[in-house]
Amino acid sequence: MVELLWLIPALPLAGFVVLLFFGKRIGEPLAGWLGTAMVALSFLVSIVVFIGLWDQPEHTYDLKLFSWIPAGSFHVDLAFLLDPLSMTMVLFITGIAALIHLYSIGYMHGDSRFPRFFTYLNLFVLSMLLLVLGDNLVVTFLGWEGVGACSYFLISFWFEKDANATAGKKAFITNRVGDWGFMVGTFVVFFTFGTVKYSEFLPLSPGLAQSTATLIAVMLFIGAIGKSAQIPLFIWLPDAMAGPTPVSALIHAATMVTAGVYLLVRVNPILAASFSWLPWLIAIVGALTALLAASIAIAQTDIKKVLAYSTVSQLGYMFLAVGSGGYSAAIFHMVTHAFFKACLFLGSGSVIHGMHEEQDMRRMGALRKLMPITAGTFIVGWLSIAGVPPFSGFWSKDDILSYALHKSPVLYAIGLFTALLTAFYMSRQVFLVFFGKARWGESGDAELAAMEAHTAAHDADATTDDARSDDLGEATVAAAADAGPVAVATEHHAHDVHPHESPWTMTIPLVVLAVLSALGGLLNLPFNENTELLNKWLEPVVGANQVHLGLSGAQLTVELVVSTIIALLGIAIAYGVYLQRRVDPERIELPLFANGWYIDHGISVFAGGPGRRLFELVATFDRVVIDGAVNGVGRLTRGGATRLRTVQNGYVRWYALMVGLGAVLIIAFVLTQVTF
């Protein structure tokens, strides 16, 4: 059964090819159903393969399709490595992707490029599967670039709006920085081991020089930072929300952005062989990203932006887990996060859909009665991400916090504080959207006017700065510009908003994901060895380098109780602020947070000022030295030819003269050689 492995990526590929060539002819509903069916079939095959994998020795199966690059000693196969890690990834990728495909049929209804959307989605699933299934770094890189490209296509899917196009460019360019790290890492791996195949070089890594291992690990870590939106390369992810919401759910929450975590878990023997500061670095970057993104999330007004920063924050948790040696915890959180974040994103998409493309949470409220299914599933997702037991997020987050505490109390404290913020900003979102007063329609206009004035100042501030910046910094415009058109658009239909529940194609995925979010914790309950299913399952891949906590019952209980209290505290604060209005929200939603710590702004200023001068210097170098050399060669050739061509004057007698001259010279030369 495991031999069917090749079908898993082949089905989305088939869907992609068919949709690419016949998508327009297939037309609106059918193209979506075709794409959905392909991914769903892929998921079914994954289950079959999963069952088959149990019979394989060490739960590992290597399938070589064909020799891809046989270049001397550099040999790359297009081959798939199926082990517990990639199996886990494949299962949740295909599963969630199938649900989101189904959801998109409803969400993208009426879009003029409906078939193309599913073409891209299928291509994305194919690339993602290549990424996780690749049995060497090059195939992984192929998928890595494929998902990057799809991400770019889909962020800019509605490219008619400039902001969407620039957001796509920003994501692409930021990702390139990380890809550079991945590539250099791959080169160093080949240079060191002579192979890029995981099953060949990973077992050798314990014998590696620490410095080499660290170099590889740092380079791959840079790649992971770019893809998984960690400090300092996280800036692209919030802007990526310009894409359709299913894209945000699938690519920018559940799957693609976890590729960095996957990569680090995959090469865990290399991390283990590195200097001891490297795991520290990963953990610190993760913890700081989690904290920073969470702090930004508490002041966002765009329903998707909150979730975007939340994603960055949760990815930070995963890096914290990797850095603390809790690889299985990272994967655990990745899976549960995929469940509840996909659920939340799809829920927000449902809200946006029901509110007629309204994304500003300040214009929502009291939607739970109008959209009961959306509200119910969203609340499950909220409780899960907030870390309320027994929802899945509680278990996975607590798992990570246990590893963090084992690593350092400081990391644990940061993690806990972030958990508090998480619970707070998610509760804020839920209260603003589904509870309280209805601020859509006429009732909220007066209230909004005041708020508008408050934020407009910041927006205008940011916009003028951005306008000053040049094309290098223009990606940041996307962030600020997002709010503008939405606010304007709202003026037109603010009075005739009639929120409604979404069609069944959208609600079914929501319900499924909500159930998964609620029950996902069962995968890895921390009580004893037998309940840590995921831990045991991943043992062959990460077991050797996994930190073993050996928590006593009392320790575990304390940690679980602390986490629970923190989560409930966060919810309580949000309740007090946003429902009971005991504190003015503006005292919490500081401009510093609302503007993302002015990081985009700072980059714009840098890129517009000293950065620009630097780039212009580089451009001048390019123009004068590089182009000059190229043009110089051309001019030299041309100039030389202009002078030389006078020799070719067309007089046949002149040519004969030259022939004669040559003959005389040869005779003269021969005569000097002759002796009598």
Partner 1 sequence: MDTSNLDIAYLALSAILFGLGGFGLLVRRNPLVMIMCVELMLNAVNLTFVTFGRMLDDISGQVIVFFVLVVAAAEVVVGLGLVVAMARRRPGATADDLRLLRG
Partner 2 sequence: METAVFAVCAVIVILGGLGVIFSRNPVHSALSLVATLFAIAVLFLNLGAQLLAAVQVIVYTGAIVVLILFVMMLLGVDTDEDLDVEPLVGQRAFAAIIALGVVGAVLAVLIVGGHDAVTGARSVTAAVADGYENVYQLGRQLFTTYVFALEVTAGLLTIAVVGAVVLSHRPKDLQPLPEPESMTEQGDEPLTVTTEEGGH
For partner 2, what does the binding mask look like between residues 574 and 613, x meaning CB under 8 A? Answer: ----------------------------------------
CB of 651 to partner 1, least distance (A): 6
Query: Using an 8 Å Cβ cutoff, are 398 and 559 in contact?
Result: yes
Tell the smallest beta-carbon distance from residue 473 to partner 2 (Å).
15
Q: Tell which positions 612-631 bind partner 2, by CB under 8 A.
A: 619, 622-623, 627, 631
> Pairing mode, if any, of strands 61-71 and 74-82?
antiparallel
Burial of 574 (0-12, 13-18, 19+ CB in 10 A): buried
Q: Residue 345: which of 318, 316, 385 has the closest Cα?
A: 385
Closest distance of CB 466 from partner 2, Å: 20
Is 657 one of the binding residues for partner 1 (CB under 8 A)?
yes
* Residue from 446, 642, 647, 673 in contact with partner 2 (CB under 8 A): 642
Q: How far is the CB of 670 from partner 1 (least distance, A)?
A: 15
List the structure tokens of 107: 């969400």
Residue listed under structure tokens 């196009």:
165
Binding of residue 668 to partner 1 (CB under 8 A): no
Q: What letter would DSSP give residue 197?
A: B
Within 469-609, residue ranges assigned H as helices are 477-493, 504-519, 533-542, 553-574, 591-594, 599-608
106-125 residues near partner 2, rule: CB under 8 A: none
Spatial CB neighbours of 667, under 8 Å, sequence gap ≥ 6: none
Q: Minimum distance from CB of 667 to partner 1 (Å)?
A: 11
Which letter, b or e, does each residue of 178-206 get, where b requires 16 or more Cβ atoms within 10 Å of its Cβ?
bbebbbbbbebbbebbebbbbeebbeebe
Which partner, partner 2, partner 1, none, binds residue 647 by CB below 5 to 8 Å per kind? partner 1
Residues 521-580 binding partner 2 (CB under 8 A) are none
Identify what 676 binds: partner 1, partner 2, none; CB under 5 to 8 Å per kind: partner 2
Q: By CB under 8 A, is residue 652 in contact with partner 2?
A: no
What's the CA gap between 598 and 603, in Å, rounded? Answer: 8
The alpha carbon of residue 5 and the mean position of all alpha carbons in its chain are separated, in whole angstroms, by 25
According to the binding rule CB under 8 A, does residue 674 interact with partner 2?
Answer: yes
Tell me if the bond preceding 232 is cis, omega within 30° of 0.
yes
Rounded to an integer, what distance in angstroms lies between the CA atom of residue 324 and that of residue 414?
13
The residue (of 66 and 676) whose beta carbon lies closer to partner 1 is: 676
Nearer to partner 1, 609 or 640 (CB): 640
Is residue 409 at the binding interface for partner 1, with CB under 8 A as the rule?
Answer: no
Our CB check for partner 2 shows the closer of 244 and 608 to be: 608
Residue 634 near partner 2 by CB under 8 A: yes
Residue 58 partner contact from partner 2, partner 1, none using kind-dependent CB cut-offs of 5 to 8 Å: none
Q: Label each residue of 315-333 as H, E or C.
A: HHHHHHHHHCCCHHHHHHH
The nearer residue to partner 1, 652 or 671, going by C-beta atoms, is: 652
464 or 631: CB nearest partner 2: 631
The answer to the question of residue 657 lying near partner 2 (CB under 8 A) is yes
Choose, by CB under 8 A, the member of 446, 450, 554, 668 that binds partner 2: 668
Identify whether the C-beta of residue 339 lies closer than 8 Å to the C-beta of residue 517: yes
For 316, residues 6+ apart whose C-beta sits below 8 A from its C-beta are: 230, 285, 286, 287, 288, 289, 290, 291, 292, 293, 418
CB atoms within 10 A of CB 411: 25
Residues at the interface with partner 1 (CB under 8 A): 644-653, 656-657, 660
Residues at the interface with partner 2 (CB under 8 A): 619, 622-623, 627, 631, 634-635, 638, 642, 646, 650-651, 653-654, 657, 660-661, 663-664, 667-668, 671, 674, 676
